Amino acid sequence: MNSKQNVRKDNPDEIKLDYEKISEKVKGIVEPYKDITERSVTLLHDGKQFTVKIPKAIERILGLKKGDKLLFKIIVESHEKKPKIEVEHIHE
């Protein structure tokens, strides 16, 4: 098999693999994957505001530093019963 058959050039500056044409063995090695880290935390309340302690595993993955910010986005859709929350790390 010619390796050029498995490469798709959509953009001259970028080479992408055509995953439909490579073997299953190779797909397991080169195919993009998701690594999901999930932790449950308890909210603390001091009478004025809520505080969340961020677990070390998440701190390491995000590379959190003192002074960094988190952007909370609450999405309320009319057809959903529960709002969705997105949290984005803003590097300072």
DSSP state letters, 8-30: EEEETTEEEE-GGGS-HHHHHHH
* Residue 75 lies in domain: 43-90
> pLDDT for 30-68, tens place per residue?
666 677 888 899 999 999 999 999 999 999 988 999 999
Q: Are residues 83 and 48 part of one domain?
A: yes
Verdict on whether the full-model pTM lies above 0.75: no
Going by pLDDT thresholds of 50, 70 and 90, the confidence category of residue 81 is confident
Given the structure tokens 């709002």, which residue do they identify? 83
Q: Are residues 86 and 48 part of one domain?
A: yes
Q: Are residues 23 and 2 part of one domain?
A: yes
Number of domains in the chain: 2
Q: Are residues 23 and 1 part of one domain?
A: yes
Q: Are residues 86 and 47 part of one domain?
A: yes
Going by pLDDT thresholds of 50, 70 and 90, the confidence category of residue 86 is very high
Q: Are residues 29 and 49 part of one domain?
A: no
> pLDDT for 14-31, tens place per residue?
666 666 777 777 766 766
